Amino acid sequence: MSNVLISGASGFVGRNLSAHLANLGYGITKLVRSNQPGNNELLWSELDKLITADVDVIIHLAGKAHDLKNTSKPQEYFDVNTGLTTQLFDNFLKSKATHFIYFSSVKAAADTVDGVLTETVKPNPHTPYGKSKLKAEEYISDQQLPAGKFVYIIRPCMIHGQGNKGNLNLLYKFVSKGIPYPLAAFENRRSFLYIENLNFIIGLLIKGNTVPSGIYNVADDASLSTVEVVTIISQTLNRKPNLWFVNRAVLKFAATIGDKLRLPLNSERLKKLTENYVVSNQKIKDALQVANLPFKTQDGLKKTIESFNN
């Protein structure tokens, strides 16, 4: 039985991925900061033990997420997203582990997308979050890999599923209260990633040694507009979509007021809800030799909304 070490195992993705891999028969060890580690846990402060540990796969999820309120200092992102990654990767190179999976982000490549984002784009992040993720990617890519080791830098787009507390959950609460969706005038398309599709991909990546090391975007097979997302939420709640086509200029002005007063609708959130951000997953599917991911975009979204409803 292979053993997997996971950092950030207590987060949304970490909990789901740990359960999925455990069901596949993998032994799970959590990398934690606690001063009193429990069973099947390893302390960050004792990473040197990783060199002789019985670990085959390392999955690095831990990181500082993008702060929508912009209250975090830029250095905090680099301390966590870059610093912890380089520390863990250095120990991986010395360890017996054969696979290292680093969870980066599509934001390490681009903050906005014209057309479809592929792995061939020249990275140009503008935020400390994206820059810190990219710097970690560059460090990993610059190291010489010993024979028999595989490294996968994956760039997921917005991940959703049961237990998710991100923007999708906020949109659900908005619609479930019967509040009209006022952003219908924005015509946009976005890629999403259902947690079960992500679990499926990671399971295949660590199964063997057939996938080349490299950078891979991870997304569902199809993109959706925010209006389509609101419609799916409404249908799941057995309601008719309540869509308002408010003038875009008025909404952008309202968002600037939200920036100053720290209201739910601010410029950052307006951008996330209305921007185009379509991500190609063709490279990872070709590498895994799969035509389609197990869950269709719409079906995965419905399952997530149903979990909110329950």
- Report the distance separating Cα 117 and Cα 121, nearest Å: 7
pLDDT for 103: 98
pTM, two decimals, is 0.91
Domains of the chain: 3-164+191-220+278-293 (3.40.50.720)
Helix, strand and coil in the chain, % to nearest 5: 45, 15, 40
pLDDT for 268: 83
From first to last of its 310 residues, the chain has per-residue pLDDT tens of 599 999 999 999 999 999 999 999 999 999 998 877 668 899 999 999 999 999 999 999 999 987 656 667 999 999 999 999 999 999 999 999 999 999 999 999 999 999 999 999 999 999 999 999 999 999 999 999 999 999 999 999 999 998 887 778 888 988 999 999 888 999 899 999 999 999 999 999 999 778 999 999 999 999 999 899 999 999 999 999 999 999 999 999 999 999 998 887 898 888 877 889 999 999 999 999 999 999 999 999 999 999 987 7
DSSP 60-113: E---PPP-TT--S-HHHHIIIIIIIHHHHHHHHHHSS--EEEEE--GGGT-SS-
Q: Which two tokens stand for residue 272?
A: 């996330």
pLDDT for 69: 60
pLDDT for 65: 86
- Report the distance separating Cα 99 and Cα 213, nearest Å: 9
CB count in 10 Å sphere of residue 25: 8
* Cβ–Cβ < 8 Å for 258, 224: no
